[in-house]
Amino acid sequence: MDKAEAIRLLKEQHRTVAEGQDFTVDFFEPADAPGVTRLFYAVYGDGYPIDTFYIPEKLIAENRCGNIRSVVARTAAGEIISHVALYCSSAPNPNLYEFGLGLTLPAYRTASAFFKACNLLMQLVGKDGINGFFGEAVCNHTITQKLSRYVNSVETAVEPALMPAHAYETEQSAEDRVGCLLYARVIADKRRTLYMPPSYHDQIGFILDGLNLDREIIYPEAVIEGGKAEIKLERFEAAGVARCTLSAPGDDLPKQLQGMEYELRSAGYALIQFFIDLGKPWSAGMVELLRQEGYYLGGLLPIWFGDDGLLMQKHFVDPGFDTLKIQYERGKNIVEMVKKDWQSLSQKVRKEVITQGATMKKSCERLDTCRFFQTYKGSSLVQLESWFKNYCSDQVASENCERKKILKQTGEPPADNMSPTGELL
Ligand code: SF4
């Protein structure tokens, strides 16, 4: 079953869950899968970007293999009213899970369903291959930050201007790009070596305090090794974010960055992030090289690679530090440290970066929900590149998109495979 078929069935079989019923929280059972998909559909409509949560068989398979560990709150009749999970996402360490996928039917949001589900989920941490978890808490409000503390995770990094405002349109809670705080909690770990980058000695020391990790700290010199740096680049077009993992050092990094940044800026990207393995002796030199290229601190990513990771970032838009709503003192301190590092970049680099960002076009506001864009954005068809460039990445030009015109005229989106020019793929 594909997503379109799953949505058709969800529409056909739509039913309302009666309010005020008793419920129990429990680990996911295969019989819960249809109820979980109904919950996602009830809360997000058909706009949730990951198909798995609309397709019961996929959800069962992902839970069975352990990629997702779901907890649900279910009524006596088996309806699912709340869901939360630990799941494998972007961290290279398979034993570091992400905490999220939390949602509750509106009628049950004042009941304790979600908090009870979180409590049960936390029983998994520290066993069965889940050594720790991290989560991203948005900073256009503080509710998720409070939840992150509720599950005993603490702030370790900040990602200003991470998500475009249109990702939060349904909540109408954001006008500019939305920043996030990264939270982490590690329970099962061992003594590890951490090569401390000279520029971030104090900042990393501050973040480590409170994480309860056993680290042998080595203070290396920032030696820049020759050769070809290896960068694994992952693009998140809809968010305008590129994530790079540095897997080998090399003094050609600035040259590689020039080409990469030019291309990403032209495509309307707002942010490039770098993930660097602090368990590698060469990391200190690469951190210094990135600083010279205008990248600044994001924070620490405990056990990200197995060993700890360092997040560095470069914005092509204003990071908007002053718009971040931060609940706790520790978070405020981390934001201050990061802001200071951003300010310490030479005036020239910052001016260049922000000027480039300011001239950038806004993309089509339907990127996140457009079935054409979401289906084909990773495809290698050359034709798609120019459609994305000529329509999707430019809000003004996107008004000429045939898909948009049809949606406006009929209220229904056209077939997923209809391109912006009206051609069918
Ligand atoms: S295909 Fe059209 S509606 Fe979809 S994102 Fe591109 S411009 Fe927007």
Residue of 363, 369, 384, 391 to mutate, ligand 1, most atoms within 8 A of C-beta: 391
Say whether 260 sits in a helix, a strand or coil.
helix
Instruction: Write 119-125 long-range contacts (CB < 8 A, 24+).
Output: 119/25, 120/25, 120/26, 120/27, 120/71, 121/69, 121/71, 121/84, 121/85, 121/86, 122/151, 122/152, 124/69, 124/86, 125/86, 125/185, 125/187
Q: 314 and 379 in one domain?
A: no
Q: Can you give the pLDDT at residue 371? A: 87
The span from the CA of 392 to the CA of 377, in Å, is 10
The answer as to whether 144 is a domain residue is: no
The two structure tokens encoding residue 397 = 């030009």
Residues of the chain with pLDDT under 50: 169-172, 356-360
CATH code, 75: 3.40.630.30
R_g of the chain, CA atoms, integer Å = 22
Q: Can you give the pLDDT at residue 170? A: 47
Q: 421 and 290 in one domain?
A: no
Give nearest CA residue, ligand 1 atom 1.
420
Which of 377, 369, 371 lies closest to 47 in space, CA to CA? 369
The answer as to whether 146 is a domain residue is: no
The answer as to whether 300 is a domain residue is: yes
Q: Is the CB of 370 under 6 A from ligand 1?
A: yes
The span from the CA of 159 to the CA of 342, in Å, is 12
Q: 391 and 288 in one domain?
A: no
Q: Which residue has the tokens 């370790």?
A: 156
Q: Is the CB of 72 under 6 A from ligand 1?
A: no
Q: Is the CB of 391 under 6 A from ligand 1?
A: yes
Q: Is the CB of 404 under 6 A from ligand 1?
A: yes
Q: 115 and 25 in one domain?
A: yes
HSE toward the beta carbon, residue 214, CA cutoff 13 A? 5
Q: 104 and 82 in one domain?
A: yes
Q: 376 and 289 in one domain?
A: no
Ligand 1 atom at shortest distance from the alpha carbon of 419: 1
Q: What range does the domain containing 11 cover?
A: 1-123
| CA-to-CA dists, residue 308 to 30, 153, 176, 218, 322, angstroms | 35, 16, 31, 13, 28
Give nearest CA residue, ligand 1 atom 3.
404
Q: Can you give the pLDDT at residue 175? A: 59
The span from the CA of 149 to the CA of 153, in Å, is 5
Q: Residue 11 carries which side chain, given as an amino acid letter?
A: K
Q: Can you give the pLDDT at residue 86? A: 97
Residue of 373, 416, 418 to mutate, ligand 1, most atoms within 8 A of C-beta: 373
Look at residues 335, 358, 381 and tell me which one is the last residue of a structural domain: 358
Cβ(243)–Cβ(236) below 8 Å = yes
For 231, counting Cβ atoms within 10 Å of its Cβ (0-12 exposed, 13-18 middle, 19+ buried), the class is middle
Q: Can you give the pLDDT at residue 357? A: 47
Which of 269, 227, 221, 226 lies closest to 244 in space, CA to CA? 269
Query: To 5 degrees, how large is the angle CA 17–CA 19–CA 22?
Result: 95
The answer as to whether 415 is a domain residue is: yes
The answer as to whether 184 is a domain residue is: no
Cβ(177)–Cβ(201) below 8 Å = no
Q: Give 134's strand partners.
A: 98, 184
Q: 374 and 308 in one domain?
A: no
Q: Can you give the pLDDT at residue 167? A: 58
Say whether 228 sits in a helix, a strand or coil.
coil
Q: Is the CB of 366 under 6 A from ligand 1?
A: yes
Q: Is the CB of 419 under 6 A from ligand 1?
A: no
HSE toward the beta carbon, residue 380, CA cutoff 13 A? 0
Q: 105 and 16 in one domain?
A: yes
Cβ(103)–Cβ(85) below 8 Å = no
Give nearest CA residue, ligand 1 atom 4.
370
Q: How far is the CA of 113 from the centre of ligand 1 (A)?
A: 38
The span from the CA of 97 to the CA of 83, in Å, is 16
Q: How far is the CA of 336 from the centre of ligand 1 (A)?
A: 38
pTM, two decimals, is 0.78
Strands 23-27 and 215-218: unpaired
Q: Can you give the pLDDT at residue 347? A: 62
Q: 274 and 249 in one domain?
A: yes
Q: 113 and 10 in one domain?
A: yes
Q: Is the CB of 403 under 6 A from ligand 1?
A: yes
Q: 110 and 208 in one domain?
A: no
Residue of 383, 401, 402 to mutate, ligand 1, most atoms within 8 A of C-beta: 401
Q: How far is the CA of 380 from the centre of ligand 1 (A)?
A: 18
Q: Is the CB of 213 under 6 A from ligand 1?
A: no
Q: Which residue has the tokens 């020759």?
A: 226
CATH code, 273: 3.40.630
Provide the 10 A C-beta neighbour count for residue 320: 15
Q: Does the CA dihedral 411-412-417-422 come out positive or negative?
A: negative
Ligand 1 atom at shortest distance from the alpha carbon of 407: 3
The answer as to whether 170 is a domain residue is: no
Look at residues 123, 147, 167 and tell me which one is the last residue of a structural domain: 123
Residue of 403, 406, 416, 424 to mutate, ligand 1, most atoms within 8 A of C-beta: 403
Q: Residue 35: enclosing H or E segment and its boundaries?
A: helix 33-44
Domain count, the chain: 3
Cβ(310)–Cβ(281) below 8 Å = no
In this structure, what are the phi and psi dihedrals at residue 219, rounded to the nearest 5 degrees? -105, 90
The answer as to whether 291 is a domain residue is: yes
Q: How far is the CA of 393 from the centre of ligand 1 (A)?
A: 9
The span from the CA of 280 to the CA of 275, in Å, is 12
Q: Can you give the pLDDT at residue 200? A: 97
Look at residues 123, 139, 173 and tell me which one is the last residue of a structural domain: 123
